[in-house]
Amino acid sequence: MAEWNYENSYLICFPICSKFEEMYKTRYLLIFFLLFPVLLAGQEIAQWRGPERSGVYPVEGLLDQWPEGGPAQLWSMEGIGKGFSSVSVKDGTIYATGIKDSIEYLTAIHQENGHMLWQIPYGLSTLRSFKDTRCTPTIEEDRAYIVSGRGEVVCVNLSQQKIAWYADAYHHFEGQFARWEIAESPLLVDNKVIYTPGGHKTTMVALDKHTGETIWTSETIHDTTAYVSPILVERGDHKIVINILRNYLIGVNAENGKIMWSYLYSELDKPTQHPESPHINTISPLYKEGRLFITSGYDHTSAMFGLSTDGEEINLLWRQPVLDTHHGGVVLLDGYIYGSTWINNSQGNWACVDWESGKIMYEKEWNNKGSIVAADGKLFVYEEKRGFVGLVRPGPDDFHVTSSFQHKHGSGPHWAHPTISKGVLYIRHGETLTAYNISR
């Protein structure tokens, strides 16, 4: 793949933690088994909406209620560039994308004190409106994988703080984007980086995560890409990459790129209230035990599908018009789906839907629509208009906000989804990242 360079690019370098040495001798077996959970956690991928892309973070020991005025602020820092993307946290370092002028940068930040460790340019921003970065970096071991606003797929070597490989994937695969260009966070599957260019040449591609070379390209379904980051599902003997384009919901065999099935989501209960409603898809699907949930804003219906035991077919189980989430994500907890609804682009409520039946349990007003994540059996919501953050006790009877505060750092829409790691809540707003202590 082509080398990437940018005139007058700069780099601030600091050493990062070294890897564990390999433990193979017999006398170290006991130590190995004691440390195995720690070693395994170190290999976990840090990515968009948590390790499973479900919006649920595997964190425990969090506060059941916040002090008046909100949890204690640990630090707040600026200079990461403008972005709507979330941050990824791994091995004591936070990684964020942001733009300065028309260049997108990856910034590494010390998790404990918020000090910037280094910052490097990696690609070009979108040319359309709302140019702030959309891609949350995917971190595995000492590498970060990013998709720029122009569809450049980039791998950054974190220990060396430089570009390891670069692929102008959108142009190479003759991609076709919709109105707001590209907003996809790359998915890693084994040795592959998954990217969805759309278009008439292919729909989805897999690049070698070590070199950037093409491993496979799917056939085309002649659809434009949407703004959804794909998920990985294991069903039967297959690993299936699931994504939503402008019109279609698709399942792709992660091994060879074969499109196993597709569903014309845009025609499902196609509404007439808003001309863009069947096409502006932004929400990563939810999956559990053979059931697949998708949702979209603009009065377009959400839907639940059943995935056959071999993973090669899907069928519609139910649809739910109330939970039409705009771009704030949804989470599944204890058999219920939680998220915000779309009334218009500036207004929405909060809703709960039964996972099995699709029954709407409630729709409640609280400030405005926004993003939602979960951890330790609790919901964390971040409304997009004035930046209120709420701690919500989940349950199908009501939207129980037990604590809230207003996040006042940064500027622009409050669109970045929160991230939770080791008892800390990270809120990104524009060029600013702030850390709040939410641990007991």
Per-residue pLDDT tens for 221-276? 999 999 999 999 999 999 999 999 999 999 999 999 999 999 999 999 766 557 76
pTM: 0.90
Q: Which residue has the tokens 């808003």?
A: 274
Question: What is d(CA 235, CA 290) in angstroms, rounded to the nearest whole number?
Answer: 7
Stretch among 33-47, 140-154, 321-335 having the lowest mean pLDDT: 33-47
Question: What is d(CA 50, CA 428) in angstroms, rounded to the nearest whole number?
Answer: 15
> What's the pLDDT band for 12 if we cut at 50, 70, 90?
very low
Residue 278: per-residue pLDDT: 77
In 219-369 the beta strands, taken as DSSP E runs, fall at: 231-235, 238-244, 248-253, 259-264, 286-288, 291-294, 302-307, 314-320, 330-333, 336-340, 350-354, 360-364
The total number of structural domains that make up the chain: 1
Residue 16 lies in a domain: no
Question: What is d(CA 267, CA 286) in angstroms, rounded to the nearest whole number?
Answer: 20
Residue 80 lies in a domain: yes
Residue 128: per-residue pLDDT: 81
Residue 19 lies in a domain: no
Residue 21: per-residue pLDDT: 42
Residue 4 lies in a domain: no
Question: What is d(CA 116, CA 198) in angstroms, rounded to the nearest whole number?
Answer: 36
- Average of pLDDT values for 323-343? 97
Chain centre distance of CA 44: 15
Q: With the C-alpha atoms ordered 338, 343, 347, 349, is the resulting torsion angle positive or negative?
A: negative
Q: 424 forms bridges with which residues in the sheet?
A: 421, 437
Residue 12 lies in a domain: no
Range of the domain at 356: 28-437
- State the pairing for strand pair 424-429/56-57: unpaired
- DSSP state letter for 190: T
Q: Which of 176, 76, 105 is nearest to 410 (CA)?
A: 76
CATH number at residue 179: 2.130.10.10
Residue 176 lies in a domain: yes
Degrees, nearest 5: CA angle 213-218-222: 125
Write b or e for each residue in 202-227: b if 16 or more Cβ atoms lie within 10 A of its Cβ, otherwise e: bbbbbbbbeebebbbbbebbebbbbb
Residue 413 lies in a domain: yes
Q: Report helix, strand or coil for 91.
A: coil
Q: 194 forms bridges with which residues in the sheet?
A: 187, 206
- Average of pLDDT values for 391-416? 98
Residue 99 lies in a domain: yes
Q: Are 6 and 121 in contact (CB under 8 A)?
A: yes
